[in-house]
A and B are shown apart, each in its own frame.
Chain A
């Protein structure tokens, strides 16, 4: 797999851009989660956001200044000495300028957008092997399954730091969207679909996550935390879960599928195939190719 460069590319751009906009992102506190990325995916997205802010400001500011100036200067008051030229309505030079400027801006932003769009479909650059987490949106809770560790959690997700995480998103219920702003942007979790979202945390911490697509009455309560910690601690947590937590049986899963709001839960094991069978039951025919792709990515 082509593991280029995320990091290097974003670093070159970062130097030039972030300096000018540090005002926007610092001093406003830690609450602006989108501007506080803790991993390479969120970082790429933040850099693109900042580039886009600079480019659009280059249009907005002149427009507002011009508007202010023109309205003031040419207002209809007696004795206004400003020229009045009611028939003047064409200027090819001016029109070429304002067809041209937006084209240049769109060209620049478009190029970076396309580059990053392709970039984010690949795992972040790291030597560590990816960890797979299967995420299912249920009414109104999140189920996280770790196919390699054979454990599961509800409404919270533990991940190791400095390791790409391959989230495989689906839903057994209305369509949702999986969003952990500090790790990176969201992707839909849909019934009958399994979709991949690469994220990675470079720092330990507890990161806020929430469903971002409305799923009904309990939607506002679909918050979860992603807890990132160093590899050794993560492995220790897995061992502890394996030894202490109960098992998620098929019956238990069926009761989770029912509409309810629940507290975080932990399971030492789960009935095999619940993720895949929910996918196939719900029209997974669209997913046969992807399922084989997903099958290859874990299980050794």
Chain B
């Protein structure tokens, strides 16, 4: 029965490295500081009522954004540490163990705990407002998704100081990630935290698909829907069909590790290749899950700041949907070198090249949206314009990698590293930063500072080229990824040095970005009109930030770019608009249960990490009880009375 009792491994608290001691001290200090501030200013009740129990998509969006920026910082620090270790050959800045942990957490955090919450922040702030809805289809579930993500991220990051971080790469291939070669709890942290956040992601996918399909304002047919919402629909479909594969892969590997099964072990007929297939059946669609919303943002931003309709709307929709279908039949290109027959490799090679076709079409459509427009070079537009050359080159190297026999020479080399950073940073990160600057006034009611924003943009963008172009060359010189050190005689030294310098410049760019946020909280220009960019879609018809019910009256849509059209109609006629009388608004009630249930998930996950089954099963029971209580709850919604709506609207200056 000893396994049912808490058993503390010798390395429960990670020790032995100055970096880790520093982190431990700063975590304790930060926690104490936060607790003190909340208590001193009597903010506990405010925190609980306004944030921890909220089901409002706009507040959930804010929380996703803050979490994404924090995780961007953590993943970015990992990147700086790695690049510092590689600045010269034979550096002893990091030991192999630390380097391995750091590239593992860098990849995992950047994809699952930075990119995913960042896109969800954008989903949440923009989709309901763009389609004229008062919230998402399932607001309570939306809160569950956020808190599952939040506690999963907490669990994952906890591994840094408790038990040790995972170190088998973000792909976590067995048998390296199996018990034979990895006894420590780090790998369990990886498996359980991804499992928990994965549940949240699937729920978000379902939620936004339902929202977009069922909750559009009257008159907003699918083909009148803003392209960002289209991209969210495509991304949600991908989430729903791809994440279950990850769930299965992680669950089977966890069963291998906890219960000694042999799905993916080397011995007893286990088959590690099956994990690799399952992982990438999720993993490839995953990169489109995080890139398609960025495409949507670029479509909005380019059209708004060119003062022009998006070019080739139908083709843009067709290419989004084509990409989401093709992306399911590409996964084998992550392992052309695993020895599948030439027929299989040929199929996946050509399919991979085919995804370049709709993507190329989108690039040309963005270009021709700007053509004969009036281009305002605001910060969101700068990110969108800079995206085009980076993504064109990143896409091109993607097509090069797709040629299977050529891939035999690029695979797992720095050429590959440069490629996927180019598409993921140039695509997703640039897209999310464009979206952040674009929708920031809608989220917070004030603008981010343009001047600091430009500095951040130029530093980050130029640092990007300096960091990643040398890595293409390093790959062609034979340097493979995940090497914590390299010999001095291969001719790799100069290029590695340059790459590290570029990474530092990107790091400075990120710091300036944070400075911009901090500066603007105090000094940012207030957005009193609700339409600071002369926008085209419905979110700009609302005050910034929007009232909690979004629309006092649900608008009726008669065309694409609904807000643009209605602004033009108003400028043409002076006749006073006829307003429908206000109706009471049906809204969901706040609930603390998503927070509590996710906290129980966290406790159970933590228990299973250390094989404390009693705690694990107790927590599972707690989760089931939470769900049961929710099912028995009937008082979940209320009506906002007309007087309250009138008062709110009047206070916002809208009659």
Contacts and interface: CB of A to CB of B under 8 A. Distances in A.
B486 A220 contact: yes
B367 A185 contact: no
Interface in B93-112: 96-97, 100
B528 interface: no
Interface of B: 96-97, 100, 167-169, 173, 175-176, 181, 266-273, 306-313, 315, 335, 337-339, 341-342, 345-346, 349-350, 353-354, 356-357, 360-361, 363-365, 367-377, 385, 388-389, 392-393, 396-397, 399-400, 402-413, 473, 475-478, 480-487, 490-491
A83 interface: yes
A105 B412 CA distance: 26
A23 to B, nearest CB: 14
B471 to A, nearest CB: 14
Given A59-B360, A185-B408, A282 B267 contact: yes
Given A71-B377, A98-B360, A99-B361, 10 more contacts: A32-B477, A34-B410, A45-B408, A49-B400, A63-B364, A71-B375, A76-B376, A109-B403, A114-B346, A114-B349
Given A106-B353, A185-B337, A190-B272, A216 B403 contact: no
B469 to A, nearest CB: 14
B176 A214 contact: yes
Contact of A98 (B307, B364, B406, B482): B364
A187 B412 CA distance: 11
10 contacts: A56-B396, A67-B367, A85-B372, A112-B403, A185-B405, A210-B478, A216-B168, A219-B96, A282-B267, A283-B270
A210 to B, nearest CB: 6
Interface in A192-237: 192-193, 195, 208, 210-220, 223
Contact of B373 (A67, A86, A181): A86
B393 A34 contact: no
Interface string A24-36: 0000010111110
Interface stretch (A89-97, A241-249, A265-273, A292-300): A89-97
A193 B339 contact: yes
B346 A117 contact: yes
B371 A74 contact: yes
Interface stretch (A127-135, A144-152, A154-162, A172-180): A172-180
Contact of A53 (B173, B175, B400, B481): B400
B262 to A, nearest CB: 9
B391 to A, nearest CB: 9
Given A33-B477, A35-B476, A283-B269, A63 B388 contact: yes
A121 B340 CA distance: 11
B373 A84 contact: yes
Nearest to B100: A217
User: Looking at B360, B370, B403, which has the most chain A CB atoms within 10 Å of its CB?
Assistant: B403
A63 to B, nearest CB: 5
A186 interface: yes
Nearest to A66: B367
B484 A220 contact: yes
B478 A33 contact: yes
B346 A63 contact: no
A45 B368 CA distance: 37
Nearest to B270: A283
A187 B339 contact: yes
B366 to A, nearest CB: 9
Nearest to B177: A174
A188 B339 contact: yes
Contact of B404 (A70, A105, A113, A216): A113
A184 interface: yes
A253 interface: no
B413 A70 contact: no
A15 interface: no
A255 interface: no
A31 B407 CA distance: 19
A174 B485 contact: no
A212 B480 contact: yes
Nearest to B346: A114
Nearest to B391: A63
A59 B169 CA distance: 34
B371 A56 contact: no
Contacts of B337: 177, 185-188
A102 B372 contact: no
Nearest to A24: B476
A98 B375 CA distance: 23
Contact of A74 (B169, B306, B309, B490): B306
A286 B398 CA distance: 32
Contact of B392 (A33, A59, A121): A59
A89 B373 contact: no
Contact of B173 (A48, A70, A74, A175): A175
Contact of B374 (A46, A84, A99, A113): A84
Given A70-B371, A84-B372, A49 B409 contact: yes
A60 interface: yes
B347 to A, nearest CB: 9
B374 A109 contact: no
A89 B481 CA distance: 44
